[in-house]
Amino acid sequence: MENTMSLAMQSLRNRYPVLVETAIEDAFKNRGFLTWNQGIEMWAIDRPVASCTHCTSFCRKHCYTRKAYTQYHHIMPVSDIKNEYRWSMMTGDKIAAEIAGRNQRARVRAVSRVRFCTKGEPFSEIKDIELVKDIAVKNPEVLFWIPTRAWRHQQFRVKIEDTLLDIGNLRIMASLDPSNTRTEAQSLKESGWSTMFFGIDDVEEAESNFKIKFAKCPKTHEGRHGSCQTCGLCFVKKQINVHLRQH
């Protein structure tokens, strides 16, 4: 059992008390921490939307996970509990051991890039920042891609800037949407953050709203399936602003 229960797990326990025990027992049955995400063709580590402690009114309403929560509503609570339990058990050493095992066995899906998180918020609580640091430091050969809205809370923003922005294998991107302001976008730019914007499909309009230059995501603008694995944009070391279109 985890040492300190996360806020997300507390919420799931309150909502689905009868599911918790069995879901936790099965959390590592036939799988580890990483999961292959077919949509982006990349390894990922996920959390439940219950972990989204920094979401905006816009992102809640237009959250890209809504479809999954509607379509798979009968299995999502169990899947969420398992994901959050696995999250609570993670350490840099355990992730390193799993990646080493996968890379020995499967050359086709070698782990070179990992996405935190295709759903949920990696920096749900302040302690998650040290956890991600531990994972990055113990897995220097792997690039970790981390879109986050944690920048919206000052305590998180400062700690991420101090602890993570200079780690060479982390690609942290501040998620922006139309509920955010030009002042926020400019302030992120000045502090060295890369950003990822979704919510206004017209790139020029978004650029003029935020006064920043965007690079167009080839997956959403040109429909290039699976391009996250080979695309340079979200994985470049330099500061970058990526524009995603609805697709």
Between 163 and 227, name the residue whose CB sits nearer to ligand SF4: 227
Contact between 65 and ligand SF4 per CB under 6 A: yes
- Find the shortest distance in angstroms from Cβ 121 to ligand SF4: 5
Q: Give the count of beta carbons closer than 10 Å to the beta carbon of residue 152.
A: 16
Write each residue from 142 to 171 as x if it is in contact with ligand SF4 (CB under 6 A), else as -, in one continuous string: -------x----------------------
Tokens of 225: 């399936």
Rounded Cα gap, residues 121 and 115, in angstroms: 11
Q: Are 199 and 62 in contact (CB under 8 A)?
A: yes
Between 211 and 247, name the residue whose CB sits nearer to ligand SF4: 247
Rounded Cα gap, residues 242 and 87, in angstroms: 27
Contact between 203 and ligand SF4 per CB under 6 A: no
Q: Which stretch binds ligand SF4 (CB under 6 A): 29-37, 69-77, 95-103, 216-224?
A: 216-224
Contact between 212 and ligand SF4 per CB under 6 A: no
Options 160, 234, 241, 245; binder of ligand SF4; rule CB under 6 A: 234
* Residues β-bridged to residue 239: none
Between 192 and 223, name the residue whose CB sits nearer to ligand SF4: 223
Rounded Cα gap, residues 98 and 102, in angstroms: 6
Between 5 and 231, name the residue whose CB sits nearer to ligand SF4: 231
**57 burial type by CB count under 10 A (0-12 exposed, 13-18 middle, 19+ buried):** exposed
DSSP 168: T
- Find the shortest distance in angstroms from Cβ 218 to ligand SF4: 5
Given phi > 0 = left and psi -120 to 50 = alpha, else beta, which region is 86? Answer: alpha
Q: In whole angstroms, how far apart are CA 75 and each of 59, 68, 215?
A: 23, 10, 37
Options 63, 97, 110, 167; binder of ligand SF4; rule CB under 6 A: 63
Rounded Cα gap, residues 43 and 118, in angstroms: 10
Contact between 242 and ligand SF4 per CB under 6 A: yes
Between 85 and 214, name the residue whose CB sits nearer to ligand SF4: 214
Rounded Cα gap, residues 86 and 146, in angstroms: 18
Contact between 239 and ligand SF4 per CB under 6 A: no
Between 96 and 150, name the residue whose CB sits nearer to ligand SF4: 150
Rounded Cα gap, residues 42 and 35, in angstroms: 8
Contact between 50 and ligand SF4 per CB under 6 A: no
- Find the shortest distance in angstroms from Cβ 70 to ligand SF4: 13
List interacting residues with ligand SF4 (CB under 6 A).
49, 52, 55, 59-60, 63, 65, 119-121, 149, 217-219, 227-228, 231, 233-234, 242
